[in-house]
A and B are shown apart, each in its own frame.
Chain A
Amino acid sequence: MDQIRHKVAIVGAAETDDLGQMPHMSRLALHAQAAKNALEDAGMSLADVDGLLCAGAIPNEVAEYLGIQPRYIDGTSVGGCSFMIHVRHAVAAIMAGYCDVALITHGESGRSGVDAPRGGSASSPGGQYESPFAIGGAPTTFSIPVLRHFHEYGTTKEHLAHIAAATRAWANLNPMAMMGSHRRAPERGGGPITPQDVLNSRMICYPFNLLDCCVVADGGGALVLVSEERAKDFAKDPVYVLGAGEAAAHWMVSQMRDHTTADGYRIAGEAAYKSAGLGPQDIDHCMFYDAFTFTPLMAAEDLGFVPKGEGGPFFAETRTGPNGEVIYKSGPGGDFPMNTNGGGLSYCHTGMYGMFAIVESVRQLRGECGERQVPDVNVSMAHGPGGMFASAGTIILSNA
């Protein structure tokens, strides 16, 4: 256990007013609206903010747009887990006295493309050694490790399909979830799905069918963090940071050291556990970034919830509920509650989804989740990759 445990708390967490298709809002406007909502959630004003952390934007861009001049900035932008890493950095900055109130913002016009930066240099390593082979975004690269895992451990597409079905079951309990029953009619693909529906959906990039892939959305989210002492003064209960970790393992997916293990997950996870003084057995609720069905399976294995190679059968375990319904391992009523907002698969995925995973951890710890509230959540883990298992960020949060 090291010195960061329980020193800093999240006191504000929110998404933008809407998620999904918002062509009327630019990338920076999404950052700003998320900041407004998170500050309101905390009962604070923008004038209180003296630390700014963001990804997908230069901190100065966001600071100027908001009209603030923070004395601490962090622009770590390494993909979807950037926000877990920001939480870790904000803890250190607040403890060091570099800032008192840290605001972390995310905004991305991932669907409508309003001021969405695109593409890389043809001279970068990726431009020279991957792009020429007709790489078409995340479905053709995040999929690269999967068949090696299948080959080594006997994991199957049926196993992965259970993760999609379980995650959709959570989405059906979340009014904000894009593919949930509240927002999308069954004839348009919303509402409950079965593993067989996943296998029957259109092939995108084998081994991923459409329903193995996340949604594509516009949206944003933000967090407000302060010191433990100050956190007690807020109307809502603080959510303490117990532990955190980060890592950079590689950049191009072809250069991953071992395609069946995310080194970054292990490095970040070990640091998070060590700083919290906890292990996987102490975690009540998991938010494991799910750009694709395979992504959280790798997390469950590399963060020690299940032995390496056993993630497939673990997630494919089902039982029958009192009304004859199927209860999935990671779904509502299951004994491994994961991605309870409906995940990147069925709730929202802007491109850098990690922010939304943290917002859900905060809400579950506060007991704000209504129909989808998991009973007795005291410790939650939010974890994600950046790039294709390239970087990683892990945070362990608690309401006590």
Chain B
Amino acid sequence: MADYAGRLPVATPESQPYWDGLKEHKLMLPTCDDCGPHFYPRPFCPMPKCFNWDIKWMQASGKGKVYTFVISHQPIPPYNTEDNAPPYVIAVIELEEGPRMMSNLIIDDPYSTTVDMDVEIVFDDVTDEVTLPKFKPV
């Protein structure tokens, strides 16, 4: 784990609960009582007419659909080793709760990916400190 080659996120005070949640294998979304959940963590509701600063956290189901995707043939770390070689899928996932987020799709044949495919979350513990939210077909 210590030699993970991919780029790692560094949390800010506002996003710390999101990354702490992933470490516990929970996908946490900030949510507004009036407007519902959003991605990504901000200390307010990003609906301009709302801009409510009373934000709560909710656990998402981890289910969603592939909204759009690409199949990268670039050897970008960590997809740059013999065991973990390109091509790989970068996808925008539309969560069951509504918000969309970027992720990777873990799939044997990248070219079998389709728009609107049902997916569910996989918690990828890439280091002792960081867990990345990835997805796989249901």
Contacts and interface: CB of A to CB of B under 8 A. Distances in A.
B104 A134 contact: yes
Contacts of B130: 132
A6 to B, nearest CB: 34
Contact of A203 (B7, B11, B73, B90): B73
A128 B115 contact: no
Contacts of A127: 7, 9-10
A206 B90 contact: no
Interface in A201-215: 202-208
A144 B102 CA distance: 10
Interface stretch (A32-40, A68-76, A145-153, A353-361): A145-153
Residue of B12, B71, B92 most packed against chain A (CB within 10 A): B92
A125 B39 CA distance: 11
Interface in A125-146: 125, 127-136, 139-140, 143-146
A209 to B, nearest CB: 10
A206 B104 contact: no
A133 B116 contact: no
A148 B73 CA distance: 19
B92 A254 contact: yes
B72 to A, nearest CB: 5
Given A125-B40, A134-B6, A205 B71 contact: yes
Interface in B28-79: 39-40, 67-74, 76-79
A58 interface: no
Contact of B76 (A135, A145, A146, A252): A135
A140 B70 CA distance: 7
Given A148-B115, A205-B74, A207-B70, A132 B10 contact: no
A131 B115 CA distance: 22
Contact of B90 (A122, A135, A204): A135
A122 B87 contact: no
Contact of A205 (B11, B40, B70, B100): B70
The winner among B9, B11, B71 for most chain A CB atoms within 10 A is B9
Contacts of B92: 144, 253-254, 259
A133 B19 CA distance: 15
Nearest to B9: A128
Contact of A139 (B11, B74, B104): B74
B9 A134 contact: no
A129 B9 contact: yes
A18 B113 CA distance: 43
B132 interface: yes
A320 interface: no
Contact of A128 (B11, B70, B78, B134): B11
A259 B93 CA distance: 12
Contacts of A130: 102
Nearest to A150: B115
Interface in B121-138: 130, 132, 134
A135 to B, nearest CB: 7
B75 to A, nearest CB: 8
Contacts of B88: 134
A23 to B, nearest CB: 24
A147 B68 contact: yes
Interface string B2-14: 0000111111100
A252 B87 contact: no
B77 A122 contact: no
B87 A123 contact: no
A320 B65 CA distance: 44
Contacts of B72: 134, 136, 139-140, 205-206
A148 B102 contact: no
B68 A133 contact: no
A323 interface: no
A83 to B, nearest CB: 28
A198 to B, nearest CB: 16
B90 to A, nearest CB: 6
Interface of B: 6-12, 15, 19, 39-40, 67-74, 76-79, 87-88, 90, 92, 100-104, 110-111, 115-116, 130, 132, 134
14 contacts: A128-B12, A128-B19, A132-B7, A132-B132, A133-B134, A134-B7, A147-B115, A203-B71, A205-B74, A206-B87, A253-B92, A254-B101, A255-B39, A255-B100
For the complex of A and B, list the 6 residue pairs with the smallest distance between their C-beta atoms, beginning with the closest: A148-B68, A254-B102, A206-B71, A128-B9, A136-B76, A151-B115
Given A123-B12, A147-B69, A202-B73, 6 more contacts: A125-B40, A128-B10, A129-B40, A132-B9, A205-B74, A254-B102
